[in-house]
Structure 1
């Protein structure tokens, strides 16, 4: 399975070369494939804020490389460069508030900084740590893909028809994807007949990104309006909803792209299984439940502009980027450490004590 997934890899969003971070600009896909070069932590933070790069794991990886660029700059300036680095750390950590992978990656980078030995070159050490975070995420994707396929096989009857929301593919991770990694692997194994991709308003990550990724690998994909999901479940034989996550709290509540919660409610009503696929770095045991997750809200213009024209000054907008799906609506959470069925506080704590599966 691993070799076949690697052979099928066609898309990547992050590339580190010769001391520069290159990010595939996801705002203009699929119409243009333009790489943005980032040479400073400022540029990386701006790329995260403006969604040049998006997806929880990808944001964390980009931030780690952003801190490497900050180390390059601060170390060259001399003086108390580690103290000066705190400004860059804060800038990166505040780029987007909901995805916990951002904080996890930056804290791991900071811990590596604290472990520097006398005479060790901090630039080389931090670059190696960021590369390790990047590679680790890619390997986690492969492990999760296999675990997800095993779950689908367990419930295998006829060919599966699955529904996914937003983009949790190679564009959102260090490679292969979380939810889309499972879907890719299941298709390779001959288990999936068709994938329905919610368009995912207002940024259209489903129609612009997910559909593009799947079509590039000749996986049958149909784009559908977000509001058609319940109708799809009723009429098209959907067997699984498979999504990623931006944060999972200690009790198993899941923050993901706005619209995920209503999918879970509809899935429960129609007897459709609901799978969340995310690396263990997305699990935040410091938050007891989804009520504690900060939910990012973006500018009203994302909802109130059509073809570049505003709908009117007297119209308000509520534009949360994420919602929280309660754990009791989730059938299974898949991580690289293993699978948690019917997630709750005890099961999530037990999972986080395990070593990674490889």
Structure 2
């Protein structure tokens, strides 16, 4: 087991004048961090998957905007804001599928536009805003975890939960959404263990979620994605917990590829299927999942694992990075305001915009 300084894992930290990121590409074999001093390096870190997870991306982008603001060499407010808008647009478009990234960038830009005072004072406001986004996310994830425990089935006394991809400490400010529910259930004695789907093709479940569980001595069993339906059918799973990259106003949810098939299996066997996410993940301007476009990952992610090639030359590849789970397959959204039925999600619109 890799030892860390404490039981908390913080994927993004602000330290004096730099961002410290855990390099998630190297886990679980190597725990290492990357120090970033420039906005352009934040863009590279997001693009290269050094930092992953919607909330963690938003936090990293917020600090990246502050670094970018410090690099703008002008004291003219109008010129400063014009250049800052370009920086924000670049960061927002690095991972357009991540709603919390967009949300954080919009919030930071509005902070700059509405802050009073000189350019130097605006920069100070931007750092405070980035730190506030991080602190609020930590409290939000704890609230999601606690509300999630309350929403779980009453029996048995100790539950076995299934998770997909990584929506834990590494994907947030340090606690997690779906894995935050797991943590809270473990803390309250409601958890027998967790099954972590490996999450092909990038193995976020086996590399990251399982690593987090091992750090905190939470019993974790890794299965391949193709085993999930069988585990549910055999009665091994009492509830399925996933996160979300983006949620439409009607509750349709975009998340890591494989989420939809999990929801179908859970529905077929009458197992609760929960989406744990902050309300900032909901894009109320997006009416339904029909309006969501899904990006594709590189073909090599399918035909190779490390240096081992797993498929013959001449084959074709299709690698969608996410899928859309219809709202009617979702039992409830676990949010910082509690468990919310998909049909009631639209009523939460007030107060969650950046």
CA distance in 1, matches of 2:345, 2:209: 28
Aligned residue for 1:3?
Answer: none
Aligned residue for 1:14?
Answer: 12
CA distance in 2, matches of 1:130, 1:354: 19
Deviation at 1:313, TM superposition (A): 4.6
Aligned residue for 2:203?
Answer: 204
Change (3 A) 1:81 1:354: closer
**Greater mean deviation of Cα atoms: 287-296 or 224-233:** 287-296
Give matches, 1:1-358, under 5 Å. 9-74=7-72, 76-78=73-75, 80-119=79-118, 121-152=121-152, 155-308=154-307, 310=309, 311-341=311-341, 343-344=342-343, 347-353=344-350
- Is the CA contact 1:113–1:122 (under 8 Å) kept in the aligned structure 2? yes
- Is the CA contact 1:96–1:296 (under 8 Å) kept in the aligned structure 2? no
- Is the CA contact 1:42–1:91 (under 8 Å) kept in the aligned structure 2? no
Aligned residue for 1:4?
Answer: none
Aligned-pair Cα RMSD in Å:
1.7
The residue matched to 1:53 in structure 2 has which SS?
Answer: coil
Deviation at 1:306, TM superposition (A): 3.7
The residue matched to 1:104 in structure 2 has which SS?
Answer: helix
Q: What are structure 2's unaligned runs of at least 5 residues?
A: 1-5
Deviation at 1:88, TM superposition (A): 1.5
The residue matched to 2:324 in structure 1 has which SS?
Answer: strand
CA distance in 2, matches of 1:17, 1:33: 18
CA distance in 2, matches of 1:355, 1:164: 26
Change (3 A) 1:355 1:114: closer
Q: Deviations over 1:189-233 (max 9, x none)?
A: 111111100000111000111011011111110000000001101
- Is the CA contact 2:233–2:269 (under 8 Å) kept in the aligned structure 1? yes
- Normalised TM-score (structure 1): 0.92
Deviation at 1:315, TM superposition (A): 2.0
- Is the CA contact 1:278–1:333 (under 8 Å) kept in the aligned structure 2? yes
- Is the CA contact 2:116–2:122 (under 8 Å) kept in the aligned structure 1? no
Q: What are structure 1's unaligned runs of at least 5 residues?
A: 1-7
Aligned residue for 2:3?
Answer: none
CA distance in 1, matches of 2:288, 2:339: 19
CA distance in 2, matches of 1:200, 1:85: 37
The residue matched to 1:248 in structure 2 has which SS?
Answer: strand
- Normalised TM-score (structure 2): 0.93
CA distance in 2, matches of 1:68, 1:294: 30
Deviation at 1:309, TM superposition (A): 5.2
